[in-house]
Structure 1
Amino acid sequence: MASDSASMNSSFDMQITPSQRAQAAWEIANTGRITMYQFKVALGVLVGIAVISFIGRIFIRVFTRRRLYMDDGFLIFAFACLCGGTFILYERIQFIYLEFAVLRMDPIAFPIAMEQMDGLFEQSKWQLSYLVLLWTTVFAVKWCYFAFFHPFLRAMSKGFNIYYKFSIWFTVISWLFIVIGEQLITCPYVGVASGKCFPKLPASHAALLVTFWAAPILDALTDLMVISIPIVILRQSRMRSLTKIGLGCFLCLSAFMLSCSIIRAAATYYNGVLDYPWQVFWVHAEGSIGVTMGSITVYRSTLIGSNEVSNSLRAYIAKITRSFRGNKGSSRSTDDSSSPEKLEKESQVQTSRFKLPRIPSATLSGVRTLFGGTTRTKTTAMYTDDTEVDVNEVDYHAFLKAPLAAPKTAAEATATSVLVKEQVEYAGGLACFMLAMTGHQVLLHHRAIGSGRIED
């Protein structure tokens, strides 16, 4: 059989001139809705953006949080699968377009296919590998979102917690069906045995139809489940509508993945033939966009939300700037002013233009308060048992780190009240003004709180 294949290849070599082979390669690379060149350029841009955003997220986590969380682990796994799938795809992309040209019954593609028959047989193995990696990337990003919203479930209803768990299991089952079940139904053979699936697949037409539409439908349903979770959480918060919309848009970035799934399913066929390059491109694009959106989600809570994180990042950037300038004197003088403790104190103590304390912002009005979080400090602990929360602070990692406020005992309340000492006051009214003008000071005596004794 090997001799027959060699003789057939040699006969095609005799029939095709180098110019005809070059023309055939050009036509194969430019077939379908998206050409091979456009495929490579667009995919390179999307993967490059995903790499930059992912590195930025890890940088923020390592240098501000000093640790990684569960959602970071899922995103790292997705990024690794994306890199592996991208490497395989760029190595085998010419066979994707060659297969598509053969399916279109392009007469000029058959001689090229016969020349590269061994590569086409091996393509079934590589195809299974990179499709598994790409779909794993897509679903790992969804698991990253599930892990991101998990700490918010403590204050949600039991029914919502059941829906959350059902969404996770449904996503896992959908992933298993797409990466394993779909391949086994359409063509359970790899290598040379994959020739049994050509030109007619072994499965029935009804089974192929159900299998083909199951992937985009399951992908879209799982995306909708991921999007619905932050919507329900924000709906129960007591923030302004405009703030809810802003946070919702930021937390529902997985909607871009849903749009990729819709676009992929909308343009399934090209001239009556399954547009295989188009399908592969949008699966890869969905994975790249998913990694990008999953990385950007942390940027808002880090750079805008929690004062603790943003001040730490500012202090670290200031440290890098000072070391880059090489000015030791200025570095020593600005070290204290740029420390996280100083920046946190400045952010907490807000004064007006007349050096008077400002009216505190509304409490019990943000997502953090809804979920029982606290930003209690030593300064504010003796004044109120409530937590003063900015409605823009939605950082669930700071929420996890914040200690829960314990109720005060009677002894602690008495000890706290004793700390409030008597203040020296001037007599009020016209008498105070006249005595102050003559150089006299009138001190009012009060009974100390707790002791009942008169103190000067």
Structure 2
Amino acid sequence: MAPTSTMPAPDDANVGRIPMLAFKVVIGIFFALSLIFASVRTAIRIGQHRRVYSDDLVLLFGCVTLIAATIIIFVITDTIYWDEQLILDPSPEVLTAALSPDFFHRVLWYQQTVFSFITLTWTTIFAVKICFLLFFRQMVERLNGLILFWRVVLGITILSYCICACGVFISCSHFGLAALKCTQGSGFTKNLALAATDVSLDLVTDLLIISIPVFLLFKVKIDLLQKLAVAAFLCLSVCMIMVAIVRLSGLRIAGTNIDIQWQVFWQEVEATLSVIMISITAFRSLLGMKAAAARDKKHRAWYSYRRKLISRKTRKSAEDELDTNRGLPSIPGATMTGLRTYIRGGRGPSIMMSKVDKHEPLLGEEH
């Protein structure tokens, strides 16, 4: 069954709205960048804290699902373009393959891999959302109103993930050739409505997560550098929202057909962008630590210079006083001890008297 599970290569590699070469190159670049950024983020976090936190583990899980999804998309690229050509401009060779006896098994394999890809990419996207929420938790845990809002957003995000990850199976519960029912009539309408619901939940959760740092801006006074960091995060989040809107706007093709090529391309781009975006937060914290270290170094340098100057003046004054008093007779060591004994009315401890005896030779020398 393995040799006949995949579709034959398409006759036209430029069929559809995204040429095959651009499809592979763009996905490959974004995937490589996401892994590089995630690796650097992990190195920075471990270097700073010497331990792994819960958001690091969630991101690691998201990277694993992203790797699996990317492998799938490169395996089925030819099949995606063959399907696109069958819909838009079928050649005799494509029609012949579509009428072959093993076509049912090919369609079933294709449907299962696409469903797996969509579920894995949704897992990556929502893993990053939860990672952001865990990152923000330490900032809002002492603010009663915001921590309650944070918990509500976390619950909505988890529920939205369940709907998005299972939505592809809800939209089309048929497998094999029976799945063609999902592309016609009420099946197509249901499919398109659930796809729109998935994108809407994606947008809503993004907006809810964005609102947390926006609220923090009004609750806490921060410097310009931190404001710019929050602004950069908001800009990246807006980019994610735009990608989701683009994916939804081009989902329909040739009447009542779902454009799988368009859907999987932008789904993969959004998943890789989300990993890059969460990784940038580690660079922000690293810059913040460097800036704090520079300020501390500057403060310590000034303080150290001032302390040295005061120490030098004190030492010079002591030396001058020593020069002034040089040549005068020294005060016997037992004078203060005897004075303390006299003040106490001769009731001092025996150690005081021993000190007096100890210094009697000195008194004898003075006489």
- Tell me the equivalent position of 1:323: none
- Tell me the equivalent position of 1:177: 163
- Tell me the equivalent position of 1:96: 80
Offset at 1:61? Answer: 2.3
1:198 maps to amino acid: L
Unmatched segments (≥5 aa) in structure 2: 308-312, 326-367
**Contact kept in structure 2, 1:146 and 1:226, CA below 8 Å:** yes
1:2-401 alignment, distance < 5 Å: 25-27=10-12, 29-104=13-88, 106-108=90-92, 109-115=94-100, 117=103, 118-158=105-145, 160-180=146-166, 182-190=167-175, 194-198=176-180, 201=183, 203-204=186-187, 206-240=189-223, 242-252=224-234, 253-272=236-255, 273-302=257-286, 304-306=287-289, 346=297, 349-351=300-302, 355-356=305-306
SS class of match (1:306) = helix
Q: For each residue in 1:165-204, what CA deviation from the matched residue of structure 2 results, as whole angstroms up to 9, or x when unmatched?
A: 1111111111111111x223322133xxx21121554854
Offset at 1:48? Answer: 0.4
**Contact kept in structure 1, 2:156 and 2:205, CA below 8 Å:** yes
Offset at 1:57? Answer: 1.2
Q: Which moved more, 1:253-262 or 1:274-283?
A: 253-262
**Contact kept in structure 1, 2:46 and 2:52, CA below 8 Å:** yes
Offset at 1:306? Answer: 2.3
Offset at 1:292? Answer: 1.0
- Tell me the equivalent position of 1:361: none
Q: For each residue in 1:72-120, what CA deviation from the matched residue of structure 2 results, as whole angstroms up to 9, or x when unmatched?
A: 1111011000000111111112112222222336344322334562322
In 2, Cα distance between equivalents of 1:91 and 1:293: 26
Assess, with a 3 A threshold, how the Cα gap between structure 1 residues 236 and 32 changes in structure 2: closer, same or farther: same
Q: Paired residues, what number?
A: 309
**Contact kept in structure 1, 2:182 and 2:188, CA below 8 Å:** no
In 1, Cα distance between equivalents of 2:165 and 2:296: 52
TM-score (normalised: structure 1)? 0.60
In 2, Cα distance between equivalents of 1:351 and 1:292: 40
In 2, Cα distance between equivalents of 1:296 and 1:232: 21
Q: For each residue in 1:223-280, what CA deviation from the matched residue of structure 2 results, as whole angstroms up to 9, or x when unmatched?
A: 111111111112212234x445302124433333222112212323344443221111
Assess, with a 3 A threshold, how the Cα gap between structure 1 residues 275 and 124 changes in structure 2: closer, same or farther: closer
**Contact kept in structure 2, 1:167 and 1:222, CA below 8 Å:** yes
In 2, Cα distance between equivalents of 1:244 and 1:236: 14
**How high is the sequence identity, in percent, across the aligned residues?**
25
TM-score (normalised: structure 2)? 0.74
**Contact kept in structure 2, 1:57 and 1:295, CA below 8 Å:** yes
**Contact kept in structure 2, 1:49 and 1:292, CA below 8 Å:** yes
Larger-Rg structure: 2
SS class of match (1:25) = coil
Unmatched segments (≥5 aa) in structure 1: 1-8, 10-21, 312-342, 358-422, 428-435, 442-456
**More contact order relative to length (CA 8 Å, sep ≥ 6):** 2
